[in-house]
Structure 1
C-alpha cells in the first residue's frame, strides 16, 4: 500500500495511523497528526481502491451503501499491512491509534469491528457503522473518539450514536463530540480530539 512513515521523537508514544477521506491521499491528515501528538511516529496510508479516479479504502455500491465483501477483504488487507509495517519500521504494533476521516474513519471502525487487537484506540471523524448485524470482538481496554455533525447529510446523528452504542456494548470506552455542522472536518473537532488524546493516552 502506498504510504508515508515518519519516525517520531518518542518511541513510547503511540504510532498514529492516518486514513484519509474519499479523494484524499497520504498527505491529507499529516497536519492533524501534528496537532494530536507532534512527537509520535506516523504511518499514513493511501487507499487501494479508486472510485472515478478518487482513492478510497474500499468500494461502495452507492452513497452510504458499502460493498460488504470488499470491505471485509480490504480490512484484512490493511490489518496485514499494519503487521508488516510494524516489523519493517520497528514500532510497537500493540500501541497504534488510528485517525480517520469519513471513508478512512469507516475502515478504522471496520478494523475494530473485525479484529480484537487491530488498534489500541481510534479517532473517528464522521464515521458510519461499517457493518450491521455482526458480533464485535471484546474491545475492553480500547478507547474511541467519535466526532460527528448534527447536520451531517452523509452520516446522520442516529448513525453516530448507533456506532457509539455498538462500541460500548463491546466494552470500548467511547467519547462522542458533536458539532453543529455537516460532514466537513473542522478545527474545533480536531482540537477536541487532541484534548481527548492527551487525557486518555
Structure 2
C-alpha cells in the first residue's frame, strides 16, 4: 500500500553567517527535474554575484527516493551538496530541493568548516519549513465533450484532484491526478457523465 510522506509545505528562505561568509538557504517543494531547474535559475537571477549556489534534492518517498542529486558548484568536492543532501535525508522529507547561496566573506573555512556551514544552513531552513503530506495519486486520462469540462473542474476542486493537462481538438482530452482514496468516486463520476476514461500505467 502506498503511504503519504512529508513534503515541504511551501517555499522558505533563511540566512546564516559563518566567519563573514553569508549562507542563504532556500527550500522549495519539487516533483520534477524541470521544477528543480526553474528554482535554480531563479536563485541565479536573484543572486548573480554569489560565489557559489550549491544544492541537493530528492524526489519521491524518503528512504526510497525515485531520484536524488547534489551539486557543489565549485566548492571542494563533498563539502556542500553532500552535507545538504544528508540533512534532507535525516529530516525524512520527500519532494524537496534545498539551495544554499554563498557570499564569500574573505576568510577560508576549510573542508570541515564548509561541511558544517552548508549542513547548518540546510538545517536552519529545513527545521523551520512547514510540513505537508504527499498523498499518493492515480493518473487518469479522459476524453470528453466541451460541455463536460466545467463539471470535471468542479469535481476536481471539491475532491482534491488536480487537472494536470488539458488539450482541445475535436473533443477535450484531459489528464487528471486523482487521490488514491478518491479513485472509486472518480470512476463513478466518469460513468455517470459517460466520459471515456483510462488508467495511466
TM class by shorter-chain length? under 0.3
Q: TM-score, normalised by structure 1?
A: 0.27
Larger fraction in strand: 2
Task: Tell me: higher relative CO, structure 1 or 2? Use CA pairs within 8 A at least 6 residues apart.
Answer: 2
Q: TM-score, normalised by structure 2?
A: 0.27
Higher gyration radius (CA): 2
